[in-house]
Each structure stands twice: as C-alpha cells, then as structure tokens.
Amino acid sequence: MSQTQRWNGSCVASCSRADMVPEIAAAVGFVSSLLRTRGCVSEQQLQVFSGALEAALTEHYKHHWFPEKPFKGSGYRCIRINHKMDPIISKAACQIGLSLQQLYQLLPSELTLWVDPYEVSYRIGEDGSICVLYEASAAPVSSYGMLTCKNQMMLGRTSPPKSYMMTVSS
C-alpha cells in the first residue's frame, strides 16, 4: 500500500515505481505484442519501444495511481485508440521512428486498454468483449461495487458483444 504524505494541508498518495510494475508490464507487453504480430518491427525496435512506453506510462501515472482506490483515475489511465492515436503510444513509437500512419496500419483502429491497480484489461472494437490481461488476487474490499469507466461502458452497451480472438506470441 502506498504511503500518504501531507502537502499544502491535503493528503496525496505517494507511490513508488514498484507499485505499478506488474500492471505497466502487462500493458507494455500487450501493445508490443500487437506490433510484433505484424512483423514490421524488429526485436531491437520493440525493446526500445517497450522501454519508452514503460517510462512514459510510469511518468504519466505517478500521481494518478491509487492502490487503495483502484478505480479512482481509471479514465486518466485509460489508453485509447479510436481513429485517433493515443499520445502516449505515439510518443513511444517516435522513439523507433514509426510514423502515425504506420501506427494506424499496425494497431487496431479501435482499442481501449485499462491500466488500473490490480487489473489490466482491453477491448478491441467498440462492441468487443473485454479481456483481462493481468489480475492480482488482492484488491481492496472497499473498491467493490463502484462503477468504473469500463463498467459504465458495459452498462451503456446497445448491441451484443462481438467475439474477437486475440493471440499473443512471445
């Protein structure tokens, strides 16, 4: 659990990089595997991309990671491609010389990746099924029953989910 610090009279959660390691590793591994399956990116480029994405996510999430309230900040941590590239992915892709046009060819046109404490999940397509990539066994009891960004999207669905098959190779 993260420590709490006093700052300007209010409590802010302070988290170390270690708090996010498994979740970020799952997200980075998943996005990297999507790039790997197309065969257009070398293993060396994938390693550089993975390192850049890991660093970018760690920095982006450092003040928005609340293990005691895993759903707090879920929308902020969500990685989204919906005919518009997520800026964190495009920033990491720049490190290996991939253009936006190349990214659109290599990645799904609609992808949502939720990176939350204790769980990382994704959905391909607006009506696709949500698949869990990583799940820790001990989520705090106080977080159950809350509507997350992901759960709200599932409740608001107007059509039945379509099945997608995703294979990940390593």
Q: Is residue 98 part of a domain?
A: yes
Q: Is residue 33 part of a domain?
A: yes
Cα distances from 130 to residues 57, 84, 133, in angstroms, run: 21, 20, 10
Using pLDDT thresholds of 50, 70 and 90, give the confidence band for residue 161.
very low
Q: Is residue 154 part of a domain?
A: no
Q: Is residue 65 part of a domain?
A: yes
Q: Is residue 116 part of a domain?
A: yes
Q: Is residue 77 part of a domain?
A: yes
**pLDDT tens digits, 118-150:** 999 999 999 999 999 999 975 544 444 444 555
Q: What is the largest CA-CA distance in the chain?
A: 52
Residue keyed to tokens 């190349």: 102
Range with the lowest mean pLDDT among 54-58, 89-93, 146-150?
146-150
Using pLDDT thresholds of 50, 70 and 90, give the confidence band for residue 168.
low
Q: Is residue 68 part of a domain?
A: yes
Using pLDDT thresholds of 50, 70 and 90, give the confidence band for residue 13.
very low
Distance CA 147, CA 79 (A): 18
CATH at 131: 3.90.640.90
Please state the domain count of the chain: 1
Neighbours of 65 (CB within 10 A): 26
Phi, psi of 10 (to 5 degrees): -120, 160
Answer whether residue 52 shows pLDDT above 80: yes
Q: Is residue 60 part of a domain?
A: yes
Range of the domain at 103: 20-135
Mean of per-residue pLDDT scores for the chain: 80
